[in-house]
Amino acid sequence: MPKKNKMTIQAKMILVLIFVLVGIFLLLISLFSVSCVVQNNNQNKIMGKLFLTDYNKNQELKIDTVALDSNYRQRAVEIVKKYLIQDANLVADDYAAKIINVKEAVDAIMGLTLTGIYKDVHLNLVLALDGAQRGYEAYVVGKKAEGQKLLQQSAEKMDEIMQANTWLKTE
């Protein structure tokens, strides 16, 4: 009898252990699901897909995306035009001034508010300017060939952006 009792106790402990493990598993799944929802919600905020709600009035806030897009286009043209003019007017080997000019352009572009329509243009502008900055920095440290290559790639990228987005072209 004691041997049978001992087996029954072991079986009960194994059963309890299985229930505990299943409970932990379900808890982990629910925590993972919540973190995915929060992460997805944060992604929607970044991409501008989240509906904004005024909790005091419990109503959706209306965002004038047409005005936002128009403002983005206007400001992006101004920033690109200013960057290109200043870059052309700076002394060819004044790389420190050219780096400052690029950084100012990147900072200005990063300060713009945009909708999802312009996210690719926005990213490509920043990447093209980053290439120019890295090119000028390479010149500063004496890596002329690398700097020249980076500046050429940056100029080509900027041309591609301008051709793909005719509204961005400046006189």
Compute the chain's Rg from CA coordinates: 29
List helix spans (H) across the chain: 2-47, 65-89, 95-110, 119-140, 144-164
Confidence of residue 68 (pLDDT cuts 50, 70, 90): confident
Band (pLDDT 50/70/90 cuts) for residue 152 is very high
Strand 59-60 vs strand 53-54: parallel, antiparallel, or unpaired? antiparallel
Same domain, 87 and 134: yes
pLDDT at 48: 45
Contact 154, 135 (CB under 8 A): yes
Residue 47 has pLDDT above 80, yes or no: no
Euclidean distance between CA atoms 50 and 94, whole angstroms: 45
> How far from 79 is each of 2, 85, 117, 146, CA to CA, in Å?
87, 10, 19, 26
Is residue 131 over pLDDT 90? yes
pLDDT score of 22 more than 80: yes
Count of domains observed in the chain: 2
User: Among 60, 78, 97, which residue terminates a domain?
Assistant: 60
Does pTM top 0.75 for this prediction?
no
Q: Taking residues 78-93, report their average pLDDT.
A: 88
Does one domain contain both 100 and 157?
yes
pLDDT of 78 strictly over 90:
yes
Same domain, 85 and 163: yes
pLDDT reported for residue 101: 92
Asked if 133 and 161 sit in the same domain, the reply is yes
Contacts of 154 (CB under 8 A, 6+ apart): 128, 129, 130, 131, 132, 135
The confidence band for 156, taking pLDDT boundaries of 50, 70 and 90, is very high
Q: Are residues 159 and 92 in the same domain?
A: yes
User: Domain boundary at 45, 60, 75, which?
Assistant: 60
pLDDT at 59: 53
User: What's the rounded Cα separation, in Å, for the pair 56 and 122?
Assistant: 34
Does the pLDDT value for residue 87 go beyond 80? yes
| φ, ψ for residue 46, nearest 5 deg | -65, -40
Which of 60, 81, 101 corresponds to the end of one domain? 60
Mean pLDDT of the chain, nearest integer: 79
Verify that 24 and 90 share a domain, yes or no: no
Output the CA torsion 79→83→89→91 (10° steps).
Answer: 150
Q: Are residues 100 and 84 part of one domain?
A: yes
Residues 71 and 29 in one domain: no
40 with 111, same domain? no
**pLDDT value at position 157?**
94
Q: Hey, which of 4-18, 44-58, 86-100, 147-161 has the most confident mean pLDDT?
A: 147-161
In contact, 116 and 48? CB cutoff 8 Å: yes
Range(s) of the domain holding residue 11 = 2-60
Q: Residue 37 has what pLDDT?
A: 52
Do 111 and 134 lie in one domain? The reply is: yes
